[in-house]
């Protein structure tokens, strides 16, 4: 991995004096390795043994909630596939179904509008969280983060993708006729 | 464990270089005799026990919080890399008197472990 960073001259010179034998990259790598080693706690991390049952119970409940959020997203995706135009679907496919890439690109207003209208009536927490991110994105896309509603968004995109991939797209003889999906 | 979550590369590299320079300082220390080594060992053991207790307390508190948190709330915290601000926003703030680094780590690890275990169980289910 390549990174760029800045370091005050005085700090860099002090580090260089202390470790003159390393090249620049190696010096930074050694510094990072030492930082990690020095930060490692002396105590044991992870669940105390008596927590196993509580963890299992929480896992079961939250898995159910996650599945429910995913299914709500999937259902929303099926509804969206009913009304979305071909051009937007094609853009999503071209963006490898990265919803945030498409929503953050210029001219994505119609997709955000469709999604907003579709989900406006829903009162569940998963839909509300997704709509809240859409609203943030309308003001300034940098403030939105679809990872906050990743499970719902994952279901929504899967439904769109399955609808898209279920039909082979063929151009009819006269391209002016448009595009048919069979 | 997450080191310096949310910091940029410059901040992390500068911290690492400072740590490296600090390590290289001469300490002018004598070799520890057996007695002192033993005392240091005992003090270290005491400190580790206290840290372990604080970590386990934090972990226990994290599991307790999970009882009242929804999947959506956990997902929001995960998106913010379990930052203190994101956790506080969803009601998982830490009382100031308990806010040691070990307690914070325990609380964060509990929330993250629960989130990861639910995520893993979703991966194991057939599509």
A97-121 average pLDDT score = 82
Collect all residues with Cβ–Cβ distance below 8 Å to A33 and sequence separation of at least 6: none
Instruction: Determine whether the interchain pair A63/B8 forms a contact, defined as Cβ–Cβ distance below 8 Å.
Output: no
pLDDT, tens digit (0-9, with 9 covering 90-100), for A44-58: 999 988 898 999 999
CA distance B5 to B8: 9
Collect all residues with Cβ–Cβ distance below 8 Å to A136 and sequence separation of at least 6: A143, A144, A145
| ipTM of model over 0.85 | no
B112 touches chain A (CB under 8 A): no
Instruction: Determine whether the interchain pair A35/B115 forms a contact, defined as Cβ–Cβ distance below 8 Å.
Output: no
HEC string for chain A:
CCCCCCCCHHHHHHHHHHCCCCCHHHHHHHHHHHHHHHHCCCCCCCCCHHHHHHHHHHHHHHHHHHHHHHHHHHHHHHHHHHHCCHHHHHHHHHCCCCHHHHHCCCCCHHHHHHHHHHHCCCCCHHHHHHHHHHHHHHHCHHHCCHHHHHHHHHHHHHHHHHHHHHCCEEECCCHHHCEEEC
**The model's pTM:** 0.73
Q: Measure B29 CA to nearest chain A CA, in Å.
A: 19
pLDDT, tens digit (0-9, with 9 covering 90-100), for B27-48: 776 777 888 888 888 998 999 9
B104-124 average pLDDT score = 90
pLDDT at B5: 55
Domain residue ranges of chain B, discontinuous segments joined by +: 34-122
* More confident call, A60 vs A113: A60
């Amino acid at each position: 991995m390549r990174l760029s960073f800045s370091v005050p001259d005085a700090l860099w010179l002090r580090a260089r004096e202390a470790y003159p034998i390393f090249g620049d990259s190696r010096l930074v790598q050694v510094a990072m390795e030492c930082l990690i080693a020095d930060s490692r706690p002396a105590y044991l991390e992870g669940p105390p043994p008596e927590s196993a049952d509580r963890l299992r119970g929480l896992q079961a409940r939250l898995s159910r909630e996650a599945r429910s959020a995913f299914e709500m997203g999937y259902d929303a995706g099926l509804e969206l596939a009913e009304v979305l135009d071909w051009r937007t679907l094609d853009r999503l496919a071209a963006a490898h179904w990265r919803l945030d890439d498409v929503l953050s690109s210029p001219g994505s207003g119609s997709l955000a509008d469709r999604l907003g209208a579709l989900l406006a009536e829903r009162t569940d927490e998963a839909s509300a969280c997704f709509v809240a991110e859409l609203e943030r994105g309308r003001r300034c896309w940098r403030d939105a983060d679809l990872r906050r509603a990743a499970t719902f968004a994952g279901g929504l995109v899967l439904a769109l993708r399955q609808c898209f991939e279920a039909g082979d797209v063929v151009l009819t003889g006269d391209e002016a006729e448009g595009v048919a999906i069979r | 464990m997450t080191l310096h979550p949310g910091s940029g590369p410059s901040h992390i590299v500068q911290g690492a270089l400072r740590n490296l320079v600090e390590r290289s300082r001469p300490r002018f220390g004598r070799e520890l005799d057996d007695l002192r080594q033993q005392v240091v060992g005992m003090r270290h053991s005491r400190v580790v026990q206290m840290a372990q207790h604080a970590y386990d307390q934090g972990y226990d508190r994290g599991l307790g919080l999970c009882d009242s948190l929804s999947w959506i709330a956990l997902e929001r915290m995960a998106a913010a890399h379990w930052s203190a601000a994101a956790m506080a926003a969803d009601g998982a703030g830490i009382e100031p008197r308990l806010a040691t680094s070990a307690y914070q780590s325990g609380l964060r690890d509990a929330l993250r472990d629960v989130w990861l275990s639910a995520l893993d169980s979703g991966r194991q289910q057939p599509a």
